[in-house]
Structures are given as C-alpha cells and as structure tokens.
Structure 1
Amino acid sequence: MTRIYTLVFVIFFTSIIQAQQKQPNIVLIMADDLGIGDLGCYGQTKISTPRIDELAKKGILFTNFYSGTSVCAPSRSALMTGQHTGHTFVRGNKEIEPEGQQPLADSVITMAMSLKKAGYATGAFGKWGLGMVGTSGDPNKKGFDEFYGYNCQRQSHRYYPTHLWHNSQRIELTGNDLSQKVHYAPTLIQEKTLAFLEENKDKPFFLFVPTVLPHAELAGPDDVFYTKYKDIFPETPHKGNDYGPGATIAGYASVDKPRATYAAMVSRMDAYVGQIVDKLQELNLLDNTIIMFTSDNGAHREGGADPVFFNSTAGLKGYKRDLYEGGIRTPFIVSWPSQIKTSKQISHTAAFWDIMPTVVEISGKNMESYTDGISFLPTLTAKGKQKSHDYLYWEFHEDGGKQAVLVDGWKLIKLKVKSEQPHFELYNLKKDPKEVNNLVGQYPKIVKKLTAQLEAAHQESPIFPLYRKKN
C-alpha cells in the first residue's frame, strides 16, 4: 500500500508540473527611446546589435508595429492596460512630488495582474513610471510580485542615481550623490533580472524588463562597449547638467563623445538581452519561453543624442513626442522556439494595446477587463484567422495637444488640439510612408471620416484633459 500511495503521489505532482510547463514563460523587454532604425535587423549599420538581430533571425519581425504613444508614461499605460491613449488611465507625464508620476487607479487591471491570476510568478526590472511606492499604482499593487529599479521616470534621467527601489524598500546607492559616479544602475538592474529567472525557474513566469537604456542621459562605464565606438565617429561634445555642486535629478550630464556613448548604450542593451536568452538556455527554459522585444516610443534627441547620424527612425518622419511615424512606429520582435520554427517578417498592423490580450490568451485565460487590443497569437502560431483593427489611435498632451488616427493606410494628424484653430494633416501611408505629402486639401471626405473616428476614439479624462475648455 505504501508503494501505491507513493506512486499516486508522484503521478499527481508530476501532472501538476507538466500542466504548469504547458503555460509558456513570457518575457517582455522594452527599450526606452530606442528608434526603430537603431537595430541591425531594421537596417542599422553603425551600431552592433547581434543578440537582438539573432532573435529576429529565428523569430518574427513586425514591420508595422506601434507604441502606445510618443512619450513614456502614457505609452506604458497603454501597454499595461491593453487600452489606447484615448481610453487608458494615464495619458501624460504628470509628475508627483517629491517622487513619482500620476498613479494608475485602483480600478485599473494590468497585464501583470491578469497573468498573476493565471498562475504566473511576475517580476518587473527597470523603469516603472505608473505610480509611486504606496500609491494605487505601486507595481506591487499592479500585479508584480517583485519590482527592482526606478519607480520614478524623472529619477531615471540619471544613470548614477542616489537610489533605486526594491519593492517598498528604498535602496541607497552609497557614493552616488550627484557628485560621484559609483554604481551604474543598469548593471544593478540586470543582476536582479537574471536572479528572478533563477529563482522562478520551476514555475511559469512573466518577466517584464522595461530597461532605461538608451534613454538620455548619455552615460556609461568606460568599458568594452564604449571602447568599441570611442574612436570611430566624428564627435561634437555635448554640454549638460554635470554631476557635482548644483546638479539636479532631472538633468543630463555633459558627454565628450555623444555618438560613441549612445552606440555603446544600445550595444550594452543588446548584450543584456543576450544574457537573458543565455540564462533561459542555461535553465533549459528557452524552448517554452516567448520573448518579445520592443521600445516605448520613437528615437529621442536629448542629452546629445543624434538620431539623424544613426538614421534612428529608419527614414521615417518625426521623433519622440511626435505622432508622425518616427515617433510611434517601433521595433517589435517575437521569439518562441517551440512555436515559431521559421523566421519571417510580418506586415500585420498591431500596437501596444494588442500585447495584453495576446499574452493573456497565451496563458490560457480570457480577458476580464476592457481592451482596445486584438490578440495577434494567430499571427505568431500561423493557426486560426488573424483579426485586424478598424483603426489605431494615439494622443499626446504636450505641445498644445496632438491626436492621430490610422484607418486602412490613411493617417490623420491633428495638431494644436487645445487651441481654437487646430491644424490637420493627412497622409496615405501606403504610398507615402515617410509622410511627405500632406493631402488634407485633396480628400475632404476622407478627412471628415477620419475626424469622426478620431473624435469617437477619445474619451475625455478629468485627470488628463485634452480638449480646450469652452467658456
């Protein structure tokens, strides 16, 4: 009888482990301000990104993928909630003193909360920006078992910050006092990222890596990454807000060789992606893990960054804070060895708000909150019919307000939204992907149709109002 009980016990727990293994591990890596043209697999020639390029060669590369919007917090909100910026809770970079940004509300359901409910261990390592520790937007309250990194995106302007956060614990970085540079934050965050994989290797997990690289400031150790580039580009030093007396958190330090430093930061990020892949391989988890790589918005021009020199937008118009393609079109690469056997480029149009319904479906569960997204799992697995969007929508609350809507290749952009005389631009992306020819005066019926869609997509928020109040 003892042997029978032992056999039943073994079979029971083996079946549990096997059931857990059927749920794929999910790794979502999001760069900060990385342009679509900054990766070799999207055409970059000056910066080396072999590990991300390798993911693309073995997986799926999307050519028409869009971020939540063109700046940090609202784009991340769209990602986490599966809702575009006309619906998602956080619509702008609203700062909270002394540290943090406008928090997600208690009522908001995030991707991490859904996956945690589906039985996943959850961890986030990098930059959060959706609610300070102790608020309703605290990452531990939004589905993450563990968080390590910058809670506040203002603090992340410094790569040698005074502190980071590990859940509710403020981790003081001794020596980093805005006059000395001792601890490089990305290195510390990467160590915690790899530790999470080791600690959760025996259960399904969701690893979110919102790395701060290569966001300004331009900074990093004088190591192998910098040495690779320091003498190959023509350079003009950038004067900034240096470490030392009078330095502020939100400043960007001076940099002697901004191009070399930026390239080094992108290559460092690429190497960190490779370390995650290697750790998954070491733990025999790679085959059953889906890895997604993207960027929160288009290329930036701050702190000495030179996106023109690197062709960081791959020839597209606009940069971070623009709703032109260069501000919102982003790289998106998916690797999933057990499901994706042949590499391919996909022209399916998708956006940040599609990721949540996709990963929830992958977990074996159904969406329990409203989403503007459409799962692109059929595109990944080549099984079933892929549904498409009727429209994509974005809004941006600075610079007088901006809105954009994309319908069947036609893109309408509304500028100076908060003024009495807004400006409209219309582009046919199928014929003019670089948005050179404004056709607003030639197609009044299309403008009228897209204007109606633009207005319907936006639900006014009392916390983040977009429209000018009328007396």
Structure 2
Amino acid sequence: MRRVLIWAGVGMLLSAPGAAGQESPPRPNLLLIFVDDLGYGDLSVHGCREIETPHIDRLARSGLRCTQGYVCSPYCSPSRAGLLTGRYPTRFGHEFNPHVGEEGKLGLPLSEKTLADSLRSAGYATACIGKWHLGFARPYHPQNRGFDFFYGFLVGAHNFRLKKEAKPLFRTSQSENMIYRGEQVEPTEGFLTDLLTEEAIRFIEQHKNRPWFVYLSYNAVHTPLEVPDGLEKRLSRPIEDPQRRAYLLLLLNLDDAIGRLQAYLAKAGLDRKTLVIFLSDNGGSGQKPYLAYNAARNDPLRGYKGQVLEGGIRVPFFWVWPGVLPAGQTYDRPIISLDILPTACHLAGVPVPANADGVNLWPYLRGEKAGDPHEALYWRFGPQKAIRQGDWMLVDWRDFSKRTNSGWELYHLGRDPGQKQNLAAHEAERVRQMAQKWQEWDRHNIAPLWRGGATEDPEGNKKPGK
C-alpha cells in the first residue's frame, strides 16, 4: 500500500493555507460519519473475508486511510465528548457514559464548546443526525450545543426496526421508538439506518447552497442486533453464529447507506466540495458477556470495546476530499479523533480553541509536514491507562472476565501490532519514563463528574474523586 508522499500537480487549490501569494482551499462542507462499535477487522478493506463492504471500501480508496487512527476513549459517550470538543474527555470529567436516572445534571459539561458551535459561528448550517448520548435534559440537547437541526435519539442505544404503534420504552441504556425531531418525539416506522441516511441527504439538499456540517452518528453496528430485510442472500458463506450473522447483516445495511451518501454527493455535484471523515466511536464489542456484545472482530488487534488495548481504541479512520486530498493512499502516523476539530476549524477559517488537545492535521495529510503530529497520545478510562509514543505503547488494561488490571505492559506496535509480546521486563527504563510521562499528563485531568457501571469502572459505587 502506498504511503502519503509530498505530492503536486493539482494546482493552487492545494497550496499551503495562509502562505504569501498562495490561495487556501475553499471552505469545504463537512460530513462526519461516526459509526458505533465497528470491529476493526470487519471491513473487507481491512481484510475481512466473510462479507464484502464495497461502498465503505470505495470511500477508503477515495481518500486517505489512516492505519494508526485512534479515538480518545474505548467507550461510547466519552468518545463522542472528545470528538466534538477536540479535548480529552478526562480534562472535563466526562470519563464514563451518563445515566438516564440523573438526566437533569449529566451530559457534556456546558462549559465545553463543540465543533458545531465553531462551524455555526462561521456560517455553516449544522445538523446532528442519529445517536447523541451526551445528555438528556434540555440544556444538553444537540440544538443547545451548536446544532441547528437534530433528528435521532438521546440515549446510548436504540432499536432499528421502528413501528409507530409500538409502546415507547426509555431505559438506562436503550430506547425504543423514541426518535426525536428537534425536541419532540416523532412516531415513525422503517429501518433506522435507512431513516438516518434519508434525513442526512434531505438536510444537505436543503442547505447545499451554503456551507454545511452534518454529524451523522449512526447507531449501527451497536446492539440490538436486529436484522434488516433482504440481505441474508448476500452473505457469501454460511455464518453459523446467529449473533455474528446478524451483526454482519447490520454492517451490510450500513455499507449500503454509505453507498447512498456517496451517490447523492456525486449526483448533486457536492463530492468535490465536501470533506468526508469516517470513523468508529470505539472498537468492536466482541467479548462476552460485557459491554453490548455484538460479535464484532478487531483482527489483527488485541482487545475490545471498553479496553485501552489496540482493539478498543484503534478504529477505521478515513479522510476523503476528492481532488484535494490524495486518493488510494494510507497515512501511517498516529492520529486521534481529537484532531478533527482543529483541522475542521482551520479549513473553515475559524480560530481553534486554545484548550484543544487535537492537532490541525491538514499539512500532515497533504504531505507538507513530516513526522508524528503528536509527541504522544494518552488514554484514561477508570483504572485503565495507556500512552503511545512513536511505535511504543505502554498500557495497563482491564480483564473484565477476571475483574483485574494487567499492570504496565509495553509493546512495540511497529513490530507487534497485535500486542502479543510484552517487553516491559526488558525495557524497564522505557517503562519508567513513559509511565512518568502519562502521570504528568494525568495531572491536568479531573476526577469523573459521575461514575460508570461495573464494567466501565470497578469503583462505580464510590463517589467521584474517591
């Protein structure tokens, strides 16, 4: 696979922004596709052989596929909090999922500014479509956090098969038939992935004559594993595990949705005016019986959703802007979801918040700047912690089946991406230095504003900070 090189031949459009005598790229539309619990190894572009995902593969080949792309948390809500603020969620106490029972006071802290706030200030039409999971009460509602339009659901999971006559349920982690348009529940029926795609296309069509930002937050392929109609025949081989089969059918439906979006953008003449970013909120949940098990596979990575091993935090991550970013190449330096906000702000011509932890990736993605965008990347999730520095990853991860932590383990990801050979005993000084660096970073975090469940945080029964 080709790596990103310094490249030329596409004219002044690709000149360095702000350089004397040169023009910046026009402000792009932004389609941010955030999928849910997708296994790293479940895309055919990543080597899956059980199914083909042609539309997601084509999206990856249309731009840069980031082979070392991370999210800031291995869990749903904090990952979203970091994505939309450009800050490590542990900076502001959003370490775990908020709980419906305390909806009046839990959610993305109101002190935090979102990407939607920044882009709306620059004249963008902004929409949040799909899963929110950043608070349930009115102050935390998407339309009070920078979004002009909201269509979706507020909690952590939702059924896919919607029926108008069904009795709505509202539980701690999942709702049924509770789709909101704005602040009102709208009775509807259909398959949710398809409905979210239709709403995204409708919003873009209505605002195609001005810059727009669509945060399309699919709940696929999170549980419940409700099977869409008519897709079973497309499985190329029998899948004996019923959960695995249902998961793959949900993924095929998601792939079709990505194809519809690509076709619409091309037909509307918007594909060359739009930056599309595709990633998952965390790794696949392939470990029974914890953390919304969906039978995903993170091959060749080790670990799952909820763990700070590679399988929990390293995700499919693509950047696509035809004619502006190179196509069919990989970017192989470590990046993180926090980088999306500063990069988007740069392209929109608005100031990057001074407290952002992310980096403007634009010169790196275009090959104008070499080296790692980050000196190091960090994670904290309850008792779990990790730091990546260059090719080295130091990690203290949680084994949920044993309810114990590993203690510091050291891996060289360049030689061992599957984290099979723990080198901590042979690299004691490196372990000491990296652990100290993680501790220095952690001093700038705060205690969780609320506690998680037992599988998120084994001290969940204790008060914050205790």
TM-score range, shorter chain: 0.7 to 0.9
Match of 1:22, SS? coil
In the aligned structure 1, how far is the partner of 2:405 from the partner of 2:71? 28
Residues 24-423 of structure 1: pairs in structure 2 closer than 5 A: 24-97=28-101, 102-135=106-139, 137-154=140-157, 156=158, 159-160=161-162, 161-173=176-188, 183-223=190-230, 225-229=231-235, 232-236=237-241, 257-301=242-286, 305-307=294-296, 312-384=297-369, 388-397=373-382, 401-415=383-397, 423=407
Q: Is residue 239–residue 245 contact of structure 2 (8 Å, CA) maintained in 1? A: no
Alignment gaps of 5+ in structure 2: 1-22, 163-175, 452-456
Q: Is residue 101–residue 152 contact of structure 1 (8 Å, CA) maintained in 2? A: no
Relative distance call for 1:99 and 1:273 in structure 2 (3 A) is farther
In the aligned structure 2, how far is the partner of 1:157 from the partner of 1:395? 30
- 2:195 maps to a residue whose letter is L
In the aligned structure 2, how far is the partner of 1:421 from the partner of 1:138? 36
Partner of 1:441: 425
The TM-score normalised by the length of structure 2 is 0.82
* Deviation at residue 411 of structure 1 after TM alignment: 1.4
- 2:294 maps to a residue whose letter is A
Match of 1:300, SS? coil
Q: Is residue 21–residue 203 contact of structure 1 (8 Å, CA) maintained in 2? A: no
Relative distance call for 1:280 and 1:413 in structure 2 (3 A) is same
In the aligned structure 2, how far is the partner of 1:61 from the partner of 1:360? 21
Q: Is residue 405–residue 413 contact of structure 1 (8 Å, CA) maintained in 2? A: yes
Q: Is residue 30–residue 213 contact of structure 2 (8 Å, CA) maintained in 1? A: yes
Partner of 1:461: 447
In the aligned structure 1, how far is the partner of 2:404 from the partner of 2:37? 32
In the aligned structure 1, how far is the partner of 2:247 from the partner of 2:32? 23
Relative distance call for 1:164 and 1:35 in structure 2 (3 A) is same
* Deviation at residue 313 of structure 1 after TM alignment: 1.2
* Deviation at residue 379 of structure 1 after TM alignment: 2.6
In the aligned structure 1, how far is the partner of 2:70 from the partner of 2:280? 9
Relative distance call for 1:162 and 1:379 in structure 2 (3 A) is same
Q: Is residue 120–residue 205 contact of structure 1 (8 Å, CA) maintained in 2? A: yes
Alignment gaps of 5+ in structure 1: 1-18, 174-181, 237-256
Relative distance call for 1:171 and 1:97 in structure 2 (3 A) is farther
Q: Is residue 61–residue 332 contact of structure 1 (8 Å, CA) maintained in 2? A: yes
Match of 2:179, SS? strand
In the aligned structure 2, how far is the partner of 1:470 from the partner of 1:360? 34
Q: Is residue 378–residue 386 contact of structure 1 (8 Å, CA) maintained in 2? A: no
Partner of 1:432: 416
* Deviation at residue 219 of structure 1 after TM alignment: 0.7
In the aligned structure 2, how far is the partner of 1:299 from the partner of 1:169? 32
In the aligned structure 2, how far is the partner of 1:426 from the partner of 1:304? 27
State the Cα deviation string for residues 180-222 of structure 1 (Å, max 9, x = none): xx53322222221111111111100011111011111111332
Relative distance call for 1:298 and 1:283 in structure 2 (3 A) is same
Partner of 1:252: none
Q: Is residue 109–residue 369 contact of structure 1 (8 Å, CA) maintained in 2? A: no
The TM-score normalised by the length of structure 1 is 0.81
Relative distance call for 1:218 and 1:462 in structure 2 (3 A) is closer
In the aligned structure 2, how far is the partner of 1:314 from the partner of 1:267? 18
State the Cα deviation string for residues 152-183 of structure 1 (Å, max 9, x = none): 114x266542221111112234xxxxxxxx53
Match of 2:77, SS? helix
Q: Is residue 333–residue 372 contact of structure 2 (8 Å, CA) maintained in 1? A: no
Q: Is residue 99–residue 152 contact of structure 1 (8 Å, CA) maintained in 2? A: no
Larger CA deviation: 315-324 vs 187-196: 187-196
In the aligned structure 2, how far is the partner of 1:191 from the partner of 1:436? 43
In the aligned structure 1, how far is the partner of 2:119 from the partner of 2:323? 20
Larger CA deviation: 430-439 vs 329-338: 430-439
Match of 1:163, SS? coil
Q: Is residue 411–residue 426 contact of structure 1 (8 Å, CA) maintained in 2? A: yes
- 2:284 maps to a residue whose letter is A
In the aligned structure 1, how far is the partner of 2:371 from the partner of 2:216? 27
Larger CA deviation: 101-110 vs 280-289: 101-110
Structure 1: 4+ residue segments shifted above 4 A: 98-101, 384-387, 419-422, 464-471
State the Cα deviation string for residues 314-333 of structure 1 (Å, max 9, x = none): 21111111111111110111
In the aligned structure 2, how far is the partner of 1:386 from the partner of 1:157? 44
Relative distance call for 1:65 and 1:20 in structure 2 (3 A) is closer
Number of residue pairs aligned between Structure 1 and Structure 2: 413
